[in-house]
Amino acid sequence: MKPNPFAGAAGSPLLDVDRVTVRFGGLVAVSELDLDVPQGSIVSVIGPNGAGKTTAFNCISGIYPPSAGSVRFKGRRLERSFSAATFARAMGVGLLTGLLFAAAAVDVDRLWMAVVKRGMITGEPFTAAGAMDRLRGYFRAELAIDQMAGKWRVVSADGAEVLAIKRDLTEARRVRDALQAAVTARRIGPGTVPDSTDLATTPEPAASAPELPKLKEELLDRLAAGKRNVRWRGWAGLLAGWLLGTAGTIAVWQRGRRSPHVVARAGISRTFQNVRLFHNMSVLENVLVGLDRTIPGGVLAMLLRTPANRRGEDVARGRALEELEFVGLTGDAGRIAGQLPYGDQRRLEIARALATGAELLLLDEPAAGMNPSETVQLTGLIERIRNRGVTVLLIEHHMNVVMRISDRVAVLDHGIKIAEGTPAEIKRDEKVIEAYLGSEG
Amino acid sequence: MSQPVPGFVPSTAPPGRPEGQRKLLARCWKFLAQRWEWSALTILAVAPLVVPALGGALGGQVTTLFIYCILALGLNVMVGYTGLVHLGIAAFFGIGAYVMAILTVPMFPFQIGFLAAAVISVLVTAGVGLALGAPTLRLRGDYLAIVTLGFGEVAKVTLRNLEQITGGMKGLNPVPPPGAGVTVGGINLGQAFAIDPRWFYYLTLLLLAGVVVAMRRLEDSRLGRAWMAVREDELAASAMGISATRVKLSAFAMSSAVAGLAGCLYAASLSTTADPNAYDFNRSIMVLCAVILGGLGSIPGTLLGVALLVGFDTVLAPWADSWIQQMNINPTGSSLLSFSGWRLAIFGLALVLVMRYRPEGLVPSRRIAAELHSAEGQA
């Protein structure tokens, strides 16, 4: 007794594979594959070895991107869109990288010395406003005062050039101001337009002119060029870092646009041809990984074991046990997955896939390596899965399984779909027989 | 090859005892093995009250041991749970220590309290971990090992070359003890910490216990399972809706944060960051060896591994050396007759023996043991 297989066939199909091509270099593994999977049905894909069945599966489940064509699930292409959050993340990462690059470019060590250490030498309390002033001073390449062995020194902003040494702080300050005026005058020079910050920092001429050390012409030039230099380095670093960070984030986003976890979260789950369980985790834990998203709370909730988190874990555990019961592994919940017999491992993989709450289940040769009685059990299990409302897309070589439970069968050969129809139609199809047995003559 | 006895639990008591006594002994063993945390914690908490030596140099050595335990538990998140090889954990240890020092030393204007500095340095190291993890997400195995190794060296050289910030080869000191200037109940906490090593002993023990509890909870939660799933089979995990990217990044961040916490404690307990060479490749490898020796992915294993390896290095070796000197066995000072001369040879031999006879580590995690022995059964 079979329930109506085409329950949801009237509307748009659950999965719509539209002219999908997968190429690996020059090799065409799947060519212009069209496949509709109606809701609530069991559709099988068969074909000789190397026909591109598993490649098609990998393409549907997001492991390979299709070279051409599209895969739609419930009418949607399962791709992460370029959202505002993606944009914000790219900008944020870009800004952080930019700041890092800029810090390296303007010499973070000397910047630290100028901003933090010089704030400590005069004995005045360290304030944020003072630090900001010194930070601005560093980027204007203003001369500064430093201390060494009990004497005050007038130094360039980055501390690389020592211009004068004085015993007295006020004296040193006066020398600094006068030298700064000379440097600023040099920078502005004839023929250039002073900017607003230059005018603001040009000091009044001192009442009693201090004895100024004579600066060599090229040193004066170097000091005058300091402002442009440090700003140029800062902006260049910021820009380079920003470009790198933003481009990197966008590249990573683009690569993961249709990654398997996005597809899985949309409601497509799968098993693998060569069983891929988490071998060293317990059977229960394997299924719990499938239920990962149903448990609420972040790291902090897990560390504090908040009631919501604990409840979530308990509910998930209950559901995991239900799934194990559904596939008939109730007694094995505590065992290590890798120690189960082969047939049980396949059933555990199905339980894990079902636990994700998938609406479409892709089974890749579930009966491979099973004995006849296990195969019969599996056939029953697949029918029960369909009766739960989960649509099944199946790759299988056991023809008795395929012909018994499929609503539709598609036949692939050399990456091309050569036939599609009900099992009875497929059995009679000339091309299919030829693909499997070869043509006469 | 015979199956090794599961860690710590002898299946039978020595023969020749009456049945009842044997059962009692077995039950005691079982209790100890199941409740090892509580037994160990009780013993360690009572020890300073009973053993006067812990008030002296030994107390400081054991404190260092606890700090290494925290560091190794941090490394275990990446290497043990998530299966990402990390050869640069010492860099994060160092960054934690330096951030702590920058925020507290009198040389710089910040001079904030111990707790705030610890929180900030844990956050900073987690951030640095993310910054290292994000571009290297697609790497696995050897390639990731090379990247983390390189990062460790880069971090060390950077710490050495930023002389204005980190003090270059001199390091930053003095890092004030926790609670400097705070008086609670008539006790000046800062002074107490500076004078009596037992204060640090209890502080680090408390934090170690906290980290162990945190790790146990993570192990048995959504995130821990996701870490292990990614270790077992990244593709299958992502086909189950787990974002491998986020899971690996969280492992990077968690691992770095815990290492950073260990670094903070290290700087505070030594009252200096020491020079950047203290955070070099050797230290990373030492901690990695401890994790592997004890058992990847196993908390008691990691702790035991550190106790054996680092304890051997920092407690036993100096003690044996001073004993040899006291007994006047080695008057000429020949390195062949000093214990430290043989230290690395013993270390290496122990590792070779463990890898030969117990490849899953001394106290293996249930899962890894299953892996190794199922492979053996099939072979």
**DSSP track, A87-142:** HHHHHHHHHHHHHHHHHHHTTHHHHHIIIIIHHHHT-SPP-HHHHHHHHHHHHTT-
Report CB contact under 8 Å: B218, A302.
yes
A110 shares contact with chain B (CB less than 8 Å): yes
Residue of A248, A264, A302 lying closest to B221 (CB–CB): A302
For chain A, domains (ranges, CATH) are: 37-63+258-440 (3.40.50.300), 87-237 (no CATH)
Q: Which residues of A touch B374 (CB under 8 A)?
A: 279, 336, 338-339
Q: What is the Cα–Cα distance from A242 to A395, expressed in whole angstroms?
A: 47
Q: Is the pLDDT of residue B8 over 50?
A: no
Check B164 against A109: CB less than 8 A apart: yes
Nearest to B225 among A61, A289, A297 (CB): A289
Distance CA B313, CA B335 (A): 16
What per-residue confidence (pLDDT) applies to B327? 84
Nearest-by-CA chain A residue for B136: A252
Tell me whether residues A302 and B108 touch, CB distance under 8 A.
no
Q: Which of B108, B134, B229 sits opposite A289 (nearest CB)?
A: B229
pLDDT at B368: 54
Backbone phi, psi, residue A79, to 5° = -125, 145
Q: Indicate yes or no: CB of B225 within 8 angstroms of CB of A288.
A: yes
**pLDDT tens digits, one per residue of A388-399:** 999 999 999 888
pLDDT digits (tens, 9 = 90+) for B53-74: 888 888 889 999 999 999 999 9
| A89 close contact with B: CB closer than 8 A | no
What is chain A's alpha carbon radius of gyration, rounded to the nearest angstrom? 36
Q: Is the peptide bond before B174 cis (omega within 30 degrees of 0)?
A: yes
Give the SS3 label for residue A391: strand
Q: What is the pLDDT of residue A364?
A: 94
Are the beta carbons of A72 and A18 closer than 8 angstroms?
yes
Residue A226 tokens read as 């300091």
Size of interface A-B (CB pairs under 8 A): 131
List CB contacts (< 8 A) between B370 and chain A: 279-280, 336, 338-339
Query: Mutate which of A124, A280, A288 to disrupt the B interface (most B C-beta within 10 Å)?
Result: A280
Q: So what's the pLDDT on residue A5?
A: 44
Which chain A residues have a beta carbon less than 8 Å from that of B161?
A: 109
**What is the distance in angstroms between the Cα of B250 and the nearest Cα belonging to chain A?**
9
Q: Give the pLDDT confidence score for residue A87 in this predicted structure.
A: 94
Report the percentage of chain A scoring pLDDT > 90: 56
Averaged pLDDT for residues A68-75: 91
Cβ atoms < 10 Å from Cβ of A421: 15
ipTM of the complex: 0.87
Whole-number pLDDT of residue B192: 84
Query: A88 pLDDT band (50/70/90 cuts)?
Result: very high
Q: Which residues from chain A sit within 8 angstroms of residue B127, using beta carbons?
A: none
Dist CA A366 CA A396 (whole Å): 7
- A350-373 confidence digits (pLDDT tens): 999 999 999 999 999 999 888 889
pLDDT tens per residue across span A189-221: 765 555 555 554 545 554 555 567 777 888 888
Contact A317, A334 (CB under 8 A): no
pLDDT of the residue at B336: 78
pLDDT score, position B124? 97
B143 CA: distance to closest CA in chain A (Å): 19
Distance CA(B89)–CA(B259), nearest Å, equals: 7
Mutate to test the interface with B, among A64, A78, A80, A109 (most CBs of B within 10 A): A109
Say what the pLDDT of residue A8 is: 44
What pLDDT, on the 0 to 100 scale, is given for residue A158?
A: 87
Nearest CA to A263 out of A73, A84, A83 is that of: A73
Bridge-based pairing of strands B183-184 and A416-421 is unpaired
Report the 10 Å Cβ neighbour count for A260. Answer: 26
Contact between A356 and B226 using a beta-carbon 8 Å cutoff: no
- Summarised one tens digit per residue, pLDDT across range B106-158 is 989 999 999 999 999 999 999 999 999 988 888 878 899 999 999 999 999 99
CA-to-CA separations, A350 to A46, A317, A419, B54, in angstroms, rounded: 20, 17, 28, 57
Largest CA distance in chain B: 71
Q: What is the pLDDT of residues A236-295, one digit of tens each?
A: 999 999 999 999 999 988 888 888 999 999 999 999 999 999 998 999 999 999 999 888
Please judge whether B238 and A119 are an interchain contact, meaning their C-beta atoms are less than 8 angstroms apart: no
State the best of A272, A286, A302 to mutate against chain B, taking most chain B CBs within 10 Å: A302
Helix (H) or strand (E) holding B246: helix B244-270
Contacts of residue B109 in chain A, CB cutoff 8 Å?
116, 119-120, 126
State residue B195's pLDDT score.
85
**What integer best gives the mean pLDDT of chain B?**
86
Chain A interface test: which of B137, B230, B240, B252 (most A C-beta within 10 Å): B240
Residue A104 CA: distances (Å) to CA of A72, A109, A296, B150: 47, 9, 41, 19
Asked whether residue B365 carries a pLDDT value surpassing 80, the answer given is no
Annotated domain spans of chain B: 52-280
Q: Report pLDDT for A194.
A: 52
pLDDT score of B38: 82
**B78-100 residue pLDDT tens:** 999 999 999 999 999 999 999 99
Nearest CA in chain B to A248: B135
Tell me B276's DSSP state: G
Question: What whole-number distance in Å separates Cα of residue B371 and Cα of residue B379?
Answer: 13
The pLDDT of residue B16: 53
Per-residue model confidence (pLDDT) at position A190: 62
Tens digits of residue pLDDT in A2-33:
444 444 444 578 999 999 999 998 899 999 99
* Distance (Å) from the alpha carbon of A104 to chain B's nearest alpha carbon: 11
Would you call A112 and B162 a contact, using CB atoms and an 8 Å cutoff? yes
**Cβ contacts (< 8 Å) between B106 and chain A: which residues?**
none
CA dihedral of B76, B80, B83, B87, whole degrees rounded to 10:
40
Report the percentage of chain A scoring pLDDT > 70.
92
Q: Is the pLDDT of residue A136 over 90?
A: yes
Residue B85 is encoded by which pair of tokens? 């090889």
- Selected for mutation to probe chain A from B222, B230, B298 (highest A CB count within 10 Å) is B222
Q: Do A299 and B254 touch (CB under 8 A)?
A: yes
> pLDDT tens, B176-235?
998 887 888 778 888 888 888 899 999 999 999 999 999 999 998 999 999 999 999 999
- Are B300 and B219 in contact by the 8 Å Cβ rule? The answer is no
Number of residues that make up chain B: 379
Yes or no, beta carbons of B239 and A112 under 8 Å apart: no
Highest average pLDDT, of A120-124, A420-424, B316-320, comes from A420-424
- Whether A292 and B228 lie within 8 Å, measured CB to CB: no
pLDDT at A215: 77
Q: Which of A252, A269, A338 sits opposite B371 (nearest CB)?
A: A338
Degrees (nearest 5) of the Cα angle B91, B96, B97?
95
B191-224: burial string, b at 16+ Cβ within 10 Å, e else = ebbbeebbbbbebbbebbbebbebbebbbebbbb
How much is the pLDDT for A368? 87
Whether pLDDT at B287 is above 90: yes
Cα separation, A388 vs A39, in Å, equals 12
In order of A440, B126, B210, the CA distances from B141 in angstroms are 52, 22, 30
Torsion of CA B299, B305, B311, B316, to 10 degrees: 150
Residue among A252, A289, A303 whose CB faces B217 most closely: A303
Angle between helices B197-219 and B299-311 (to 10 degrees): 150
Q: Does A239 touch chain B (CB under 8 A)?
A: no
What is the separation of C-alpha B26 from the centre of its chain, rounded to a whole number of angstroms? 31
Which residues from B are below 8 Å from A when comparing CB atoms? 107-109, 131, 134-135, 137, 161-165, 214, 217-218, 221-223, 225-226, 228-229, 232-233, 235-245, 250, 254, 366-368, 370-371, 374
Inter-chain contact A63–B242, Cβ cutoff 8 Å?
A: no
Minimum mean pLDDT range among A34-38, A145-149, A188-192, B282-286: A188-192
pLDDT at B252: 96
Q: What does the pLDDT look like over B288-317, one tens digit per residue?
A: 999 999 989 999 999 999 999 999 888 888
Task: Using an 8 Å CB-CB cutoff, list chain A residues near B131.
Answer: 96
> Most B CBs within 10 Å: which of A80, A155, A249, A292, as the mutation test of the B interface?
A292
**B370 or B182, which is more confident:** B182
The pLDDT, as a whole number, for residue B378 is 42
Q: Are B306 and B374 in contact (CB under 8 A)?
A: no
The answer to whether B102 and B314 have CB atoms below 8 angstroms apart is no
In angstroms, what is the C-alpha Rg of chain B?
22
Determine the Cα angle at B221 with ends B218 and B222, to 5°: 115
Does the CB of A339 have a partner CB in chain B at under 8 Å? yes
The number of residues in chain A equals: 441
pLDDT for the residue B120: 97
Which of B221, B229, B254 lies at the smallest CB-CB distance from A313? Answer: B221
